[in-house]
Amino acid sequence: MSEAKNFNANDILNSQRAFMEGWLSMMGGAPSQAKNSEEQKDGNWHSFMAQIRQASQTYFEMAQRFTSLSNDNLSIDQIAQDWINQMTALFSGMINQPAPRAEDMMKNPNSFSFLFPFTGNAFNKIYRSGDFSVVQGFFEEQIEQYLAMPSLGYNRKSQDEYKKFIALMMSYQKTTNDYNKAMGKVGLEALAAFQLKLVQEMNKEEKNLSLKDIYDLWTMAAEEVYGAYVVTEAYTVLYGQMINSMMALKQQASLMMDGVLESMNIPTRTEVDTLSKKVHAIKTTCDRLIPDEFEKMQQQIEALQKQMGVKRAVIKAAPAAKPGVKKSTKKIVKASAKTAVKKAAPKNQPASSKQSRNTKKKGK
Amino acid sequence: MIQSGYFNPQQLAQEITSFNQKFVKGLDNLKKIQNIPAGVTEKEIVFQKDKVTLYHYKPHIKQKQKNNRPLLICYALVNRPYMTDIQENRSTVRGLMEAGQDVYLIDWGYPDRTDKYLTMDDYINGYLDLCVKELCKRHNLDAIDLLGICQGGAFSLCYAAMHPQNIHKLITMVTPVDFHTPDNTLTHWIKNVDVDLLVDTMGNISGDDMNWTFLSMKPFELMGQKYLNMVEIMQDEATLQNFMQMEQWIFDSPDQAGETYRQFIKDFYQKNLLIKGEVKIGAHQVDLKNITMPVLNIYAKDDHLVPPSASMALKKYVGTKDYTELSFNGGHIGIYVSGRAQKEVPPAIGKWLNAA
């Protein structure tokens, strides 16, 4: 590494190159990941590396601005202010930009800021997860005439469906745009908070700020401002509107896709859902019936076994039947049988209730 | 306006170079990480139903004091239960075993789209009940000890309220009870979301989307700063291994069965019915007053997912006179994996369970 006094732009370029080369070489030798989740094997690794790359890029971007090296002959104040101005322009742009087209949002969900992990991205991802490029293409080509004309003819129903889709698309664009603007404001406030923290830190005696210190200050400031905003009523309304409009759009797209699939005699999502619901209902019934029936059968078997035991006791107690046995002997046999039944039952309880109690205990 | 001259551009440039060098060097350590286990303590399957598995942890040490009553851990449907056993020196499971407990754990598995109609009734009065009965049968007992974690704690509360005769002692860890405390960010976020529309549209709620929601709670730290800090961690193989294990767990997120998500979000988060005694699960009304067995409620002071206030509310609503609270000086995850947690939490649970 170069000595501080001889440090120049080439050193940075060389180290950046080493960074990228190291990173690229790793892509060919990813460690094995969770074995219990197939999709994690590769997905985690790549997303993990992407996270490092993204975080590093942010860091480098910041470094580039802050160092600007002495080549530009800028004072430290100017460098810091230059960076803050640039960020201000970025966030102001987010606030003032016209509503983006949904297609653009899908293509470039990360366009908002390199420093701002925009939380709305998740919903773009959800949006993208629905494969309705067919209707998207249709939307692009036909939007103007569909909006202008009333539905006519034998396919008016499908025309209405497309119109509904377009209306929902526009609603989603509006809510997403509102969300972006709100996040832009958060970004500006975060910058102001960052600037304040930076001044405080720099005014501390003997404090030599590292780039990491500056990055951490930015993170802290942004997190504080963002954290305070996202628990406000305004944010919860905005968040709800964005998700709801997203879901309404996606649901409509899914219904339209069902129509396309049906026309090709392919099972639809609605049909699969109906089947899943029926299977679940049948399974629930079976799962609950089988143990109940099993318990009943077990009770019956135990009752029968008891009865057989009683009969055996009766037979044991009775002398072998001989011709000419008197009636009084039969009475003795009956009395023995009663004793046997009583023995099987607890005191003050009929035999049948003891049977069921035993069964219950065993059933556990 | 910045008014000081304490920036040193050359120092900053040097720092970047150093960062890159550390990263490149750290990649060598990263290459060495080949296996990231999902749980470390040896265990055996004792019961299975559909995608749900009940595990029994095999004792790995000679226990000084043995509690013969089994302890069942009921984890959340969100993320995977091996968080409780993530590595040898950071394992709640091991800590509990060392404290004399016979530990079992429910693994809910990975629901797929065919499981979309699984309800809370299926999970609680179905799978959880089957696991409890299996353990009662196996140990020839009428009741077992139950430890519920996070959402699994809410499930355990519901179960204990519906089937109090089956639970001897109940422990809840970082469990939300009052979902409408002002500091509950997730409640704020879900407040105006049309959950019916969401579930009807999406079916199951994907693990990725759940993760994104959690990351969005602290996006700058969790999506940026954490990975930048990782470059320092990469220098040490063992620390990097720990980091990667956590990273795997964080993003090992099963999808949420749609109908269960629907009821949990609507009845618990949006309507806060649990503390009102108005949650209905299957044929049962859930009344926390039915929880008359001893209860140990553990919460984390810095929990940003389940604020302490949401957990501590339990005291007001349970029917038991034997209620104990334990606060942990850490966060929602730290309560299982931090060094302090290992020293404090499992021994405290063990002591409480072993007491007559």
Query: What is the DSSP secondary-structure string of A204-235?
Result: STT----HHHHHHHHHHHHHHHHHHHTTSHHH
- Which 3 state secondary structure label does DSSP give A108? coil
Number of domains in chain B: 1
Cα B184 to chain centroid, rounded: 17
- Residues of chain B with pLDDT below 50 are 1-5
Q: A15: pLDDT confidence band, cut at 50, 70 and 90?
A: low
Compute CA distances A131 → A137, A162, A289, whole Å. Answer: 12, 16, 41
Q: Cβ of A210 and B7 within 8 Å?
A: no
> Rounded to 5 degrees, what are φ and ψ at B273?
-75, -20
Its domain, for residue B213, covers 43-231+255-354
In a domain, B319, yes or no: yes
- Mean pLDDT for the stretch of residues A12-33: 53
Nearest to A29 by CA among A42, A18, A16, A12: A42
pLDDT at A165 over 80: yes
Q: Cβ of A69 and B13 within 8 Å?
A: yes
Strand runs labelled E in B50-84: 52-57, 70-74
- Higher pLDDT, residue A317 or A238: A238
> Is A26's Cβ below 8 Å from some Cβ in B?
yes
pLDDT digits (tens, 9 = 90+) for B210-254: 988 888 888 888 888 888 888 888 888 888 888 888 888 888 999
Chain B: nearest CA to A46, how far in angstroms? 12
Under 8 Å CB pairs connecting chains A and B tally to 254
In a domain, B100, yes or no: yes
> Is A44's Cβ below 8 Å from some Cβ in B?
yes
Q: Tell me which H or E stretch contains B168.
A: strand B167-173
Best mutation target, B8, B16, B244, to test chain A (most A CBs within 10 A)? B16
In a domain, B192, yes or no: yes
Tokens for B144?
């077992």
Q: Cβ of B2 and A227 within 8 Å?
A: no
In whole angstroms, what is the distance from residue A364 CA to residue A353 CA?
17
> Is B165's Cβ below 8 Å from some Cβ in A?
no
DSSP string covering B325-338: EEEESS-TTHHHHS
Q: A56: pLDDT confidence band, cut at 50, 70 and 90?
A: low
Q: Cβ of B9 and A76 within 8 Å?
A: yes
Q: Cβ of A54 and B126 within 8 Å?
A: no
Q: A100: pLDDT confidence band, cut at 50, 70 and 90?
A: very low
In a domain, B309, yes or no: yes
Tokens for B234?
């990469």
Of all residues in chain A, the one with the smallest CA distance to B186 is: A231
Q: Give contacts of A129 with chain B, Cβ < 8 Å.
A: 206
Torsion sign across C-alpha atoms B326, B327, B331, B336 = negative
In a domain, B211, yes or no: yes
Strand order in the sheet with B52-57: B43-49, B52-57, B102-107, B70-74, B144-149, B167-173, B295-300, B323-328
The reported pLDDT for the residue numbered B297 is: 97
Q: Give contacts of A203 with chain B, Cβ < 8 Å.
A: 3-4
Q: Give contacts of B192 with chain A, Cβ < 8 Å.
A: 236-237, 239-241, 244
Separation of first and last alpha carbons in chain A:
72
- Say if strands B323-328 and B295-300 run parallel, antiparallel, or are unpaired: parallel
Q: Give contacts of A223 with chain B, Cβ < 8 Å.
A: 218-221
The reported pLDDT for the residue numbered B224 is: 81
pLDDT at A123 over 50: no
In whole angstroms, what is the distance from residue B274 CA to residue B124 CA?
15
Q: Cβ of A26 and B31 within 8 Å?
A: yes
The reported pLDDT for the residue numbered A72 is: 53
pLDDT digits (tens, 9 = 90+) for A256-297: 999 889 989 999 999 999 999 999 999 988 888 887 788 888
Q: A350: pLDDT confidence band, cut at 50, 70 and 90?
A: very low
B87-106 CB burial, b ≥16 within 10 A, e <16: beebbbbbbbbbbbbbbbbb
Out of B74, B131, B150, B158, the active site residue is B150
The reported pLDDT for the residue numbered A148 is: 63
Determine the Cα angle at B45 with ends B41 and B50, to 5°.
130
Count Cα neighbours of A51 within 13 Å in the Cβ-side half-sphere.
Answer: 22
Q: Would residue B136 show up in a list of annotated catalytic residues for this protein?
A: no
Q: Cβ of A287 and B126 within 8 Å?
A: yes
Q: Cβ of B118 and A280 within 8 Å?
A: yes
> Is B203's Cβ below 8 Å from some Cβ in A?
yes
Q: Cβ of B224 and A5 within 8 Å?
A: no
Q: Which of A81, A209, A223 sits opposite B220 (nearest CB)?
A: A223
- Higher pLDDT, residue B227 or A348: B227
- CB proximity under 8 Å: B 76-115 to A: 80, 110, 113-114
pLDDT at A35 over 60: no
Q: What is the CATH number of the domain that holds B128?
A: 3.40.50.1820
The reported pLDDT for the residue numbered A133 is: 45
Compute CA distances B57 → A150, B41, B91, B93, B188, whole Å. Answer: 68, 7, 12, 8, 39
In a domain, B247, yes or no: no
- CB neighbours (10 Å) of residue A87? 23
Q: Which of A5, A240, A251 sits opposite B193 (nearest CB)?
A: A240
Q: Give contacts of A197 with chain B, Cβ < 8 Å.
A: none
The reported pLDDT for the residue numbered A183 is: 86
> Is A138's Cβ below 8 Å from some Cβ in B?
no
